[in-house]
Amino acid sequence: MSSDTEKHHALLSGLKSAIGKGDGSFEQAVTSAFEHVFKHLDRLNSHVSVGGRDGEDRPLQDGESSTLR
C-alpha cells in the first residue's frame, strides 16, 4: 500500500474516531484532512497550470480538459 493511501486511511480513521468526542479532536482531524487535500490540489495545480508572471490562468490547449484546473 502506498504511503499516500496509508495517510488517507489514517486521516479517515482519525475523523471517524473523533466524531462526538467534544474535546476538539474532531476539529483537529478535519483540519489535518483539509491540509492534506490542499497539498494534493497544490501538486495537481503545479502540474497543469503554467500561469504568467502574475499567476493568471493560461488558455486551454487543444484537447486539454478544464476540469484539471
- pLDDT confidence of 47, banded at 50, 70, 90? low
Q: Which stretches of 1-69 are DSSP H helices?
A: 3-18, 25-48
Q: What is the pLDDT of residues 15-31, one digit of tens each?
A: 999 999 999 999 999 99
pTM over 0.95: no
Helices and strands (H and E) in the chain: how many = 2, 0
Maximum Cα interatomic distance, the chain, rounded to a whole number of Å: 51
Q: Is the pLDDT of residue 44 over 90?
A: no
User: Which residue is it, cell 483539509?
Assistant: 34
Q: Is the pLDDT of residue 52 over 70?
A: no
- Domain coordinates in residue numbering, the chain: 1-45
The more confidently predicted of residues 45 and 30 is: 30
SS3 28: helix
Q: Are 15 and 30 in contact (CB under 8 A)?
A: yes
